[in-house]
Amino acid sequence: HGSYYHENMFLKYNEILPSDINFVFNEFTEKLFIKRGAAKVVKIASLNFNRTIVDGKKKWDYIYITYCTSYIFPSTYVSLFDAPGSIDGYDIFSRHKYIIELFGKKYTDKTICIKLQPGIVGDHLYIPLLEISKKYKNVTIEFSKPLIFLFERSLHIISDYFSTEFLNRNLHNKRKIIIFNQSPITINHESLDDMKNLFIICSDVNSLWKIIENIETLGCIDKKDNRIIEYYSSIDNNSKQIGLDTLKSAFNEKPFNG
C-alpha cells in the first residue's frame, strides 16, 4: 500500500514476516521494514508513480485527494497505530462537504476538482457529494481519471493524507501541497518537521481558508529540502535491473545481465 507513511498494524504480519525479500521505494520505508523485522529489504524505484509532470492547460485551481474507500470505514478503522477513531464516519464526511461549500460559496472565483475513490459509488455506502457539488459550477467530482492527469491540470493540491502519489519526487518540485493533520489520518510526530518541508500543514478544516488566502506566500517550492524529498519519495535507480538481479540471486541463478 504505497508510501507506508501511515503505517498499518497488519504490515508486519501480512507482508514483512511472510516474505524473504521486501522491495520498497525509499529509505524511509527501508528503515521501517527493518525495524519491523524484515529479513532482507531492497530499494527500487516506483515506475508507476514517479512520472514526469507535464504542465498542461490549467482547468482547476485545486485538486483535492479525499480519504475514504467507504464512509463506514472511518468508524471502525483501527489499523493505524496513531489514528484516532470516531463513532461514525461523520467527521470525514463533514470535511468533504465543508470544502465543497467553501469553494462553492466563498471562493466562487476559484475552481476545485475533488477526487473520490471509485469504490464510493460501487461496493460501499455512497454519500451524496455529487448532489451537493451540483449546486456549484466551480466544483467538479472525479472518480476515474488518474491523479497524474489531474495534477497536470491543477495549480495546487489539497490532500487528506500522505497519498501514494506523493512518492513522485517530481510532484514535490512542481506543486504546493496542502495536507491535513487531523482525524482520522494524522501526521506522525517523529516526522512532523520533515512534513512541514514537503507540505503546507493544515491543522483542521476551519484553518483551510487562511491557507487559501495566503497560498502565494506559503510553501515555497524552491526552498524544499531535496534530501527530505529523496528520503520519502521514489528513489532514482535502475529498478528493473536491481529487481531482476535480486530475484535471480534468490532463486540461485546467475545475476541477470540484460
pLDDT, greater one: 195 or 90: 195
Average pLDDT over the chain, rounded to an integer: 86
The neighbour count for residue 222, using CB atoms within 10 Å, is 5
Q: Does the structure show a pLDDT above 60 at 77?
A: no
Q: Is 251 left (phi over 0), alpha (psi -120 to 50) or beta?
A: alpha
At residue 107, does pLDDT exceed 90? yes
**Confidence (pLDDT) at 75:** 45
In angstroms, the CA 100 to CA 105 distance is 8
Nearest to 232 by CA among 165, 182, 176: 165
pLDDT of residue 74 exceeding 60, the answer is: no
- Per residue, the 3-state secondary structure of 198-229, as one string, reads HCEEECCHHHHHHHHHCHHHCCCHHHCCHHHH
- Predicted local distance difference test score (pLDDT) of residue 72: 60
Other Cβ atoms closer than 10 A to 17: 12
Residue 31 confidence (pLDDT) above 80: yes
Q: Lowest-pLDDT range, 1-15, 102-116, 185-199?
A: 1-15
pLDDT reading at 255 higher than 70: no
- Give the pLDDT confidence score for residue 183 in this predicted structure: 77
One-letter amino acid for residue 56 of the chain: G
Reply yes or no on whether the pLDDT at 116 is more than 80: yes
Residue that has been written with the C-alpha cell 448532489 in this structure: 131
Instruction: Count Cα neighbours of 213 within 13 Å in the Cβ-side half-sphere.
Output: 7
Alpha carbon distance 31, 153 (integer Å): 35
Chain segment 81-91, per-residue pLDDT in tens: 555 555 556 77
Q: CB–CB of 120/143 below 8 Å?
A: yes
pLDDT score of 78 more than 60? no
pLDDT per residue as tens digits for the range 129-155: 889 999 999 999 998 899 999 999 999
pLDDT computed for residue 112 by the predictor: 98
Predicted local distance difference test score (pLDDT) of residue 240: 87
The pTM of this model reads 0.88
The pLDDT, as a whole number, for residue 76 is 46
φ, ψ for residue 221, nearest 5 deg: -65, -40
